[in-house]
Structure 1
Amino acid sequence: MKNTASLSTKLVRIGTGLLVIALISIGLTLWVTWKLGGGAAALNEAGRMRMQTWRLTSAVQAQLPEQEIQLLTGEFDQSMAVLKNGDAARPLFVPWDSVVHARYAEVAHLWSDQKMRFTVHPPLEHQRLVEHSVNFLNAIDRFVLSIESQMSSLTAILNLFQIVMMALAIAGAVVMLYSGYLYVINPLSHLRDGLRKLESAQFSVRLDVVSNDEFGQVTSGFNRMAATLQSLYGNLEAQVIAKTQRIAAQKERLEGLYGVSAFLAQTNDLSELTQGFAQRVRRLMKADAIALRWSDEDVSKFFLLASDQFPQVMQEEEKCLRAGACACGNPKLDARTRVIPITNSDIAPFQHCARIGYESLISVPVRMHHKVLGEINLFYKSQVSLAAEEFELMDTLASHLATAVEGMRAVALDREAAIAGERSLLARELHDSIAQSLAFLKIQAQLLRSAISKNNSDKTDFALNELDSGLKESIADVRELLLHFRTRTQADDIDRAVQETLQKFHHQTGLQVSRTVSGDGLPLPQDVQIHVLHVLQEALSNVRKHANAQAVVIEIHKGDPWRFVVRDDGIGFDERNNRSELQVGLKIMRERAEQIGAKVDVVSEVDQGTTVTLRVPAAKPSKLKEGQTASLS
């Protein structure tokens, strides 16, 4: 039978039993000790009576006053009373038994006779008084001996109790040791042996539950733990295999996602991008076929953009799908990735798929900025299901595709805007320079025709000279335009571009040029550098056309703002009465400066040269007008 008592209950029971026995033993010992103490005091009091007897005998023989004899007899009566009744003030009592009672009665009887002899008048003879006193003392001795006999018995009992207490102490120690072994050490040793077996992978080990106490509960818990470990160890290999497969699948998905993302990032052709995306996704998802559809602006139709392993007959039939007419092409904004079973070929949306032999369809919407851009359709010839990670993977791939296509579309729009901007710039440059020169040449050609018809040789020569100067000026403007449109800058080094511009200007005009650079500052953005160079080139063009200068100096001050100064030693001009051609050049410079948030200041005096200063804010984004781009070069 199992012991249902808890360990604490067992220990309390054993301890209580030992405590009760110890208390009884101690109580008995104290009682015997108390008896011995009281008996010893009685024995002393009985011994005093012998001394008192001799004192009375001596007093009578000495014929002391009667009052002293009465006092001594009173003391003896008091001793007799104390022995009979005991003393409450101290432990004094006679260990009475039948023998002690008899001896006390004998002493009391003899004392009544002896007391008369001590108080009689005249006193007894000396010899007779001594004889009676000796007899009385013998009776007292017998009384004392009876008390000593009782005291010996009590002493023997006390010794017996001490032996018994010693035996109880030994027995209690044995009981406690045995109980500790039985209820604590033995269960712990069994648990230790079980743990050692468990450590050596013996998961079938079980311990016997022999009690319902704390160790019994621990043993039951050990058995449950061993059973759980045995079960886990038995399934560990299968779990490891399953976990390894999941990790491998996850790694494959991540590698596939990385590969698709890298492909989308490095591909610039839309057809190549969509076709490569379809091939990679089909292999990644182990699909039998894939179709990539793109919607129109109103999401009413879905066009087949790319496919892989998609039957030709279905490509012909599904080049354009009306939204909602088929299982493919869901235009709803809240559309989610779905696994659609193809179970009935009589249902219109599944007729084509069922005819080919497809049994499952995975539909993945392609969205961007809360707009449905298209849909990815994966076809399977078996029943499939997607795990949560695969749903997330497909949504991520669709998001990457949308970003790549929209990015490519944005690049195309930027390219178109850049081309339009370049054309606008070219048209403005031609209008501001070549067109005006051609108009001037046309006028001179009419004047030449009129002079020839009138046979006016002077006017004819003058017109020819003007035509020759105009043609030279036009050729110079064309070369300058070519210089403008071939301008290139380095994002961190506008100084090099300025130096190249000065070298070309010197080669074109033969004028002496120099350049100084000072200060430190953040580099200008590349689009800002292009406009700065165009402003400087326009300033140099005005020097070439109008200044009649011998030298030109360009100063570059890096900082916030940047300052570019073009200074010549030419004839200068009166700013109030400057020529229209010069006004055109200044207008062009100011317009370019406004586009980048800069400012152009022109200072000139007649015969004192001209200074053009361009101030550009440092590290500020360019303020290109709509339709223009930084790729004007």
Structure 2
Amino acid sequence: MWRTWLRRAFPRTLHAQLMLSLVVLGALVASSSALIVLQHARERRIVELDERANRIADLLGQSLAQPLWNIDRDAIDRQLNTLRPNPEVVRLTVKATHYGVLADVRNASAPGPNEEVVRVQPIEFTPPGNAPRERIGEVRVVFTRAVEESGFSAARAVVLGALALALLVVYIVTFLLIRHLVREPIRRLEEMVDRIAGGDLESRCVIESSAELGRLAARVNLMAGRLHDSTASLKESERKYRSIVENALEGIFVLDRDGVLHEANPAMARLFGFPDVAALNAALAAHGRSMVTAAVAPFSASQVEQLFALVGLNGEIAGMEIPLTRADGTTVWCLLNARGTYCESSSLPALEGQLTDISSRKQAMEDLTRHRDQLEQEVRERMRTERALRDSREQLRQLSAHQESIREEERRQIAMTIHDELGQLLTAIKINVSLLKMRLSQGGDGSPKCHDIGDLVERTIDIVRNVASHLRPAALNFGLISALEWLVQDFAKHNGIRCTFRLEGAEPLLSDDRATAVFRIVQEALTNVSRHARASRVDVILHTVDRFELEVRDNGVGFDAALATRGGSYGVQGMKERARMIGAQFHIESAAGAGSQVRLMFGEAVASLRCDESAGEPGK
């Protein structure tokens, strides 16, 4: 508000501004100097007044000693009345030590507290002889500064009036000089510049002097000449630019923030399905030239928002692929390059851009991308198949090696059993038979040796039966249930772990291959429990009510079932391979401290195995 008022009140012409500045500067300098001098004189007079008050107080203190000693009121009043005509004196008071106020002379009304100058001087009397000085009273002197202040006010008014008159004279003289030396040349220079601004580029200023205004006029003439040349060059450039825009193969446009199309070249009109720019303008004119609301608008409202957001973020748009709508409703893909600008007809931000039709290239790129994706998918499928084949081959190789090592271990165990146990027993039988022959030939009793030989034969038969049972349990010849019952009893007997078998449903009828595979899976699961689970109880449950489902679970410590399932355990791999060969489903579940569980099912059944987590790799 105050700024607007200041701009209106302040003179707008250079002449008036110079004069006002001169007056203000002169008034400030002169008034400041005068006030400083007057203030200095005032302070000096105040100091003199203070010194005079001190001297009068000292003189009265000395002259009133004798009258005050004698209590001579008339002498005291005469001395005080001699000072009463002085205009600075306000009050003179003499006070005796034992009698109080003896004289009080007042000359004027009491001044303000800031105008008083007060001095109190003690009065002392010196008695005759060698008696010490004695204080007998005091004199109080009160002066006023009002007289001095009034004198200074009058002097200040006179000085300021003289300054104002001097400033008025200086103002008039300076006004006439500036009007003649500055204002008239500037006015003529303004007229010449107005002619140049109106299009008369041949006008030139008359150079009247070599001073600053003359040099300014010379520079204005030089500017006019260069402006003439620049205008001609600009017209030629505009002609070339218009020719390039009109004949360009890319669509060129100017679009403002409200979606209004301000400029377009013929290529852009053809790009949107119009024969020329006039047809495009006519189609947009029916809708206020808005590219957002027009039925034929190629840019949608969301696209306009997106384009201006990108320009506001990056300052430009480079190589943006955008779908646009033609007049017939079809979609055309364009490559957009644009930058931010402002419309000349309004202050709205705008886009100045270029559109290139890339529909055919876009289609070719999409076809190429689709073929590439298909090829990459086929390559990935083939690589995945090859990788799976390599993994399967490696697992098969490892499983074969593991099975071979198991067979070698079984052969070694059989050989050791035959060599260490069966061989020793047969040797003992042979020795006992020789001893028996010797006794019989000597006529001795051979009954004890026959008994020993019978025991050795029984033990040999047990060992042979045990080896044969591990190679193929004889119980399998009597069905899967008998084989599982024998396996559970044998496991509990040799491992000291409570193991139970429970049948839910009827006894299944399985082929010899399936029954053997199921038996070996249960055997491998129990082997894992004995080696790794640290369990105290194992349950083998066979469910045959609606499907074949075999479950082996323990209360051991559990293990990482995912690692075992991915092939970290040859025992688990063997069980999975046996289940695959008989068409069964196999699954493993385990958790730390929750035991392990194996489940084998035919048809829709799912098998799961729980083994010891801390056991590492089950089946090894």
TM range (shorter): under 0.3
Which has a greater percent of helix? 1
TM-score (norm 2): 0.25
Of structures 1 and 2, the one with the larger relative CO (CA 8 A, separation 6+) is: 1
